Amino acid sequence: MSSQTKSPSLLGGAMIIAATTVGAGMFSLPVVTAGSWYTLSIAMLLVVWGAMLISGLLVLETNLHFKLGSSFDTLTKKTLGQGWRVVNGLSIAFVLYILTYAYISGGGSIVNHSIGQLGIQLPQQLAGLVFAAVLAGIVLWSTRAVDKITSVMLGAMVITFSLAIGNLIAGSSVELLIKPDGEQVFTPYLWAALPFALASFGYHGNVPSMVKYYNKDAKKVALTLALGTGIALVIYIAWQTAVMGNLARSSFTEIIAQGGNMGVLVGALEQVINSDVLGSSLKLFANLAVASSFLGVTLGLFDFIADLFKFDDSNLGRLKTAGVTFIPPTIGGILFPDGFLMAIGFAALAACIWTLIVPAMMAYKVRQQYPCHGYQVFGGTPLLIVIGIIGLVIGSCHLLAMANWLPRFG
């Protein structure tokens, strides 16, 4: 088989999915779950991971019935009609744009924290602009470029994660994990954290890209989604263990008071590590995590924009797509450089629609249009109802939290 027709590797696609997923959750989850703490946060992650994996498989099931390159805009129009096409399109655009903005904000923060250790001071706006410009060029290049570079990044993340986080896990206190200090109230704080858990497993914008990448090989795409999100889940659990096993619950009140951005959390952990080498590994891991997630999220946004505006794959077409993809969130990152946590919370609200509710509805409709035809997710209609209900519950939690009707820690 020639190199031109060789099928992309399973690992390459899984790295894109894992890289897309790992990012927001690494630096938002420990902060927003400080109230519910370790045991409840791990249980929550398992439930949300399962729901988000299934909903991604539902997107795969729907996507297989349409031509290669069809993104959510096409899928919702063909299955649910023009009204849901508009609602879902606005939700997708909002989520992907605001996550891109969040990564520019978080990327600027962690870049500033990193170079600050070298005595270099940059305005966070400029750090965010440089961060966005460099990575946007990679997405503009090609999907395969994102595959190769994120694979390298994930490899480097494994090494730096093992060095820094392995040391933190080895020094974790079981007492801190099981019997934290402060008020012994946990469950009420779980509900406000649910939307952040959902945002931490957001990869659905990349499912159509994977269907195209693997030329509608359903088994390979499904394995890619399971492996990629599974890697993310393991990393999240290890990260929660490392952070909560070393930082007292009460210390998160100060982290939250300082805005809870990535640089603040990394700075607190560096004091615990008390090693220049391990501290450098932690900073490098943080930079790689947000960079790889930026690449994965913007790849999905890039393909969505190309499908929505029917930009072709020529150099000029890709340049037009890149302009619509990157300019708005970069401007936001320059004007509002400290909105990382708030942005992820709002992204989760809209994500409930297009990562849980709409995939369930599309799968239900496409099964009516194509009964007993091809790949189908297990569970039948009852599973679709459960996924939709989970989406409604998580969305309601964010609205209640915004109205200050749910307790928040700190």
| pLDDT, tens only, 336-361 | 877 777 787 788 888 899 899 999 99
Q: Residues 80-92: pLDDT tens digits?
A: 999 998 988 888 7
Architecture of domain 10-402: Up-down Bundle (1.20)
Which of the residue ranges 16-20, 54-58, 179-183, 338-342 has the most confident prediction, judged by mean pLDDT?
A: 54-58
Average pLDDT over residues 65-88: 88
Sign for the pseudo-dihedral over CA of 145, 151, 157, 163: negative
Instruction: For the full predicted model, state whether its pTM sits above 0.85.
Output: no
Residues, the chain:
410
Average pLDDT over residues 119-134: 75
Give the contacts of 175 (CB within 8 A, at least 6 positions apart): none
Residue 213 has pLDDT above 60, yes or no: yes
Q: Domain extents for the chain?
A: 10-402
Average per-residue pLDDT in the chain?
A: 86
pLDDT of residue 385: 97
**Matching residue, tokens 């915004």:** 402
Give the contacts of 310 (CB within 8 A, at least 6 positions apart): none
Instruction: Provide the residue type at 31 as one letter.
Output: V
Sign for the pseudo-dihedral over CA of 55, 25, 346, 69: negative
The answer to whether the beta carbons of residues 43 and 251 sit under 8 Å apart is no
With bands split at pLDDT 50, 70 and 90, how would you rate the model's confidence at 2?
Answer: very low
